[in-house]
Amino acid sequence: MIDVLKIPELGRLEIVEVYEYYDQPVLYTCKNDVGHFYLVVAADEDDQYLTWLCAAVSTGRLNLIRSGAIDLHDAFADPENTHIVQVKVPYSEHASVQVDFVQSNLIPADILPTPCERLDLEIHTLPELRNSEEIARARKQEILNLTLNFAGGFRTEASIAPLSKILGGFQETINTVGMVCGNENQVTENIRSNMEVSLLAIGAGSFDMQLASTKIVDLLDRSDFGDAIEKFLKLLNAANNHDQLKALLDQLTSRVARSYTQFLKALNESVIDTRFTWKSPNPDRGGSAFLSKVQIQKVIEILERFQEEEPIIFNITGKLTGVFLSNKTFEIETTDKPYKGKIADEAIETVQDATLSQIYTAEIQEITERSETTGETKTKYELLSLRR
């Protein structure tokens, strides 16, 4: 035990917390003189050595481990650094301690903690990190800082009504971008789960929010959410390039254009300008974008013209709640939302024998109509076909 706490390569260590004890501490946190934390576990023993594994941890990641958000297996198998310190302490007084820096993917699986074994502590003592880059690395999550400059001058508070529209529009846009990235025709529950965003903190400034992907990245520091954010930032940064924006919309489909339009309209109602900054656990990913009010309004005009020019045809799956052949209308309830509209003449035959309350897959065309007097747009749906 004493030898483990006197590893020259790590500095003089002292125990901070002990989580498991068997004749001596066998799972604990220690800290060196400059404040670096290490999670230490007794991993293996034979007739010559007791082997310990030491993983460097930031305070943010240690919080997640202590609370059980990251299990003990992943704490060592997927550390913030690429390596683990392996310490072999000999039973013989004449043998030397062996210290090796080992790549985490080369640690034998049978000496790692059992998968899903977790701590379950209340977190009170360690401070929360505020630096987005550090938080991304520590939490293994994509971090997005959203700065909103509301009309009316410098503010560190925001009204709930416009804020809820902005955040709801942002989430829906990320959902639809994730749908395209996942090669899906609709926003499924799996996509909603992968694209879910959490609010971490509110900061000073015009109005700063720190958002995080709910899902952590994989072993290669990649995530579906990161893929969606990457395309989302490309949309934002194409505000001054009509051709580039049009090319992105052609790639991402009109449904993304619709949700993106609603998001920008929510911004336009109350925000002078906005800034997005993305930090990722993957050092090769990340980025930022800035939109002024003039840019927001210009992009809204382009998006609305795009939606008028491009017919939107997509498939939905849901419960048939209404078919009215007399006036050629339909109603279908999906997990996403209800769809109501006209039945196309070519679809009449496919719905004549349909049974209410049964699950069907429908081909839907979305039609956007603009009022010549008010300039407002209205979305309508037309059923093109219905099948079991």
Tell me what pLDDT residue 59 has.
86
pLDDT band at residue 67, thresholds of 50, 70 and 90? confident
pLDDT band at residue 2, thresholds of 50, 70 and 90? very low
- C-alpha span between 166 and 7 (Å, rounded): 52
The residue-averaged pLDDT of 185-207 equals 84
- C-alpha span between 332 and 327 (Å, rounded): 16
Whether 240 and 346 share a structural domain? no
Whether 51 and 178 share a structural domain? no
State the CB neighbour count (10 A cutoff) for residue 263.
Answer: 24
Residue 122 lies in a domain: no
Q: What are phi and psi of 135, to 5 degrees?
A: -65, -40
Q: Which amino acid is at 198?
A: S
- C-alpha span between 58 and 296 (Å, rounded): 39
- C-alpha span between 144 and 165 (Å, rounded): 18
Q: What are phi and psi of 339, to 5 degrees?
A: -120, 130
Tell me what pLDDT residue 108 has.
93
Counting the structural domains of the chain, the total is: 3
- C-alpha span between 174 and 256 (Å, rounded): 9
Residue 126 lies in a domain: no
Q: Among residues 268, 285, 309, which one ends one of the domains?
A: 309
The residue-averaged pLDDT of 2-31 equals 84
Residue closest to 232 by CA, chosen among 173, 182, 281: 173
- pLDDT tens for each residue of 335-372: 989 999 999 998 998 899 899 999 999 999 987 776 65
Residue 171 lies in a domain: yes
100 vs 10, 64, 122, 147, CA distance in Å?
Answer: 12, 26, 33, 45
Q: Among residues 290, 309, 328, which one ends one of the domains?
A: 309
**What is the per-residue DSSP string for 46-71?**
-SSEEEEEEEEE-HHHHHHHHHTSS-
Through-space distance between the first and last CA atoms of the chain, rounded to whole angstroms: 67
pLDDT at 325 over 50: yes
Whether 24 and 90 share a structural domain? yes
Whether 172 and 256 share a structural domain? yes
Residue 124 lies in a domain: no
pLDDT at 154 over 70: no
The residue-averaged pLDDT of 51-61 equals 91
More confident residue, 129 or 239: 239
- pLDDT tens for each residue of 118-150: 998 866 444 444 688 888 988 899 999 998 988
Whether 139 and 73 share a structural domain? no
Whether 171 and 288 share a structural domain? yes
Whether 162 and 291 share a structural domain? yes
Q: What are phi and psi of 343, to 5 degrees?
A: -100, 125
Whether 192 and 256 share a structural domain? yes
> Mean pLDDT, the chain, as a whole number?
87
* Range(s) of the domain holding residue 317: 313-387
More confident residue, 231 or 11: 231
Whether 176 and 222 share a structural domain? yes
Q: How many CA atoms lie less than 13 Å away from 191 in the CB half-sphere?
A: 22
- pLDDT tens for each residue of 264-314: 999 999 999 999 999 999 999 999 999 999 999 999 988 887 766 666 788
Q: Please give the helix or strand (H or E) that residue 294 lies within, else none.
A: helix 293-309
State the CB neighbour count (10 A cutoff) for residue 178.
Answer: 27
